[in-house]
Amino acid sequence: MAETTRDAVASGERVPTVIADDLHIVYRVVAGRQKGNATAALRRIVKRQPSGRVREVHAVRGVSFTAYRGEAIGLIGSNGSGKSTLLRAIAGLLPPESGKVYTDGQPSLLGVNAALMNDLTGERNVVLGGLAMGMSREQIKQRYQGIVDFSGINEKGDFITLPMRTYSSGMAARLRFSIAAAKDHDVLMIDEALATGDKKFQKRSEARIRELRTEAGTVFLVSHRNRSIRDTCDRVLWLEKGELVMDGPTDEVLRAYEAETSA
């Protein structure tokens, strides 16, 4: 499948889909204990500055790269190295402190967890999640059965009409993935805390990710398992402390990364 996309690319000029230009991302976090009363709040507002307690976390520091159509790019690095932050910035969900991200169309993150509500039935969550991702009511109606079947929620009885809080954690994770994976994307970004559920479901979801890959123009994959990066990606970005340590073909970068982490 990767070959066909590569052929298309080889025939002409390589078409960029995502360009990051000296990108910096800074989180501002209100940290530590704080006087929580109204007068303290008023003082902070009058000063127009959330004083003192705000700490800055410089999560991405000057990352530049260009991604092309047909590429599948893996992002690796230790915990807190800025991988997920970088993905969110590409999706336009986190405003950059400085630098720019240019994209072709609207990149989307695979995930709808935040839109779903545990107190609602699985049924309503499918609709709510679909709408939150920007699907129309008709699209959701068409894909509803597919989503439910894929999740396998109803294999053990009519669970889809029960509130999600009654689900086991595995069942809930399966439904969330099924909803998220129901939409097609131009530039798709996958943060791989997705490998949930039982063996059977993992197999099914990996297959679905491969399917999404072929439909999408460019795929970004964050993963801590080198095997799944090797299986899916032809190029890897290695981030450490928010900086791009290495950018190159999968084998090369993974070899350097493995040498580093095993040391």
**Contacts with another protein in 150-189 (CB under 8 A)?**
163
Q: Taking the complex as a whole, how short is the minimal distance between the CB of residue 100 and another protein, in angstroms?
A: 6
Q: Based on CB atoms, which residue is closest to another protein, 1 or 38?
A: 38
Q: Is 137 in the site for another protein (CB under 8 A)?
A: yes
**Full 3-state SS string of the chain:** CHHHHHHHHHHCCCCEEEEEEEEEEEEEEECCCCCCCHHHHHHHHHCCCCCCCEEEEEEEEEEEEEEECCCEEEEECCCCCCHHHHHHHHCCCCCCCEEEEEECCCCEECCCHHHCCCCCEHHHHHHHHHHHCCCCHHHHHHHHHHHHHHHCHHHHCCCCCCEHHHCCHHHHHHHHHHHHCCCCCCEEEEECCCCCCCHHHHHHHHHHHHHHHHHCCEEEEECCCHHHHHHHCCEEEEEECCEEEEEEEHHHHHHHHHHHHHC
Q: Taking the complex as a whole, how short is the minimal distance between the CB of residue 199 and another protein, in angstroms?
A: 27
* Distance, CA of 253 to CA of 133 (rounded, Å): 34
Residues 192-221, interacting with another protein (CB under 8 A):
none
Per the CB < 8 A criterion, the answer to whether 237 and 76 are in contact is yes
Total number of residues binding another protein (CB under 8 A)?
76
Q: Taking the complex as a whole, how short is the minimal distance between the CB of residue 144 and another protein, in angstroms?
A: 14
* Distance, CA of 56 to CA of 232 (rounded, Å): 35
Q: Is 46 in the site for another protein (CB under 8 A)?
A: no
Which residue stretch of 3-11, 35-43, 168-176, 194-202 sits at the interface with another protein (rule: CB under 8 A)?
A: 35-43
Residues 224-263, interacting with another protein (CB under 8 A):
240-241, 243-248, 256, 260-261, 263
Q: Taking the complex as a whole, how short is the minimal distance between the CB of residue 250 and another protein, in angstroms?
A: 13
Q: Taking the complex as a whole, how short is the minimal distance between the CB of residue 256 and another protein, in angstroms?
A: 5
Which residue stretch of 109-117, 169-177, 192-200, 212-220 sits at the interface with another protein (rule: CB under 8 A)?
A: 109-117
In the list 9, 16, 210, 224, the residue contacting another protein (rule: CB under 8 A) is: 16
What string marks each residue from 51 to 90 as x (binds another protein by CB under 8 A) or -? Answer: ---x---------xxx-----------x---------xxx
Which residue stretch of 129-137, 201-209, 210-218, 220-228 sits at the interface with another protein (rule: CB under 8 A)?
A: 129-137
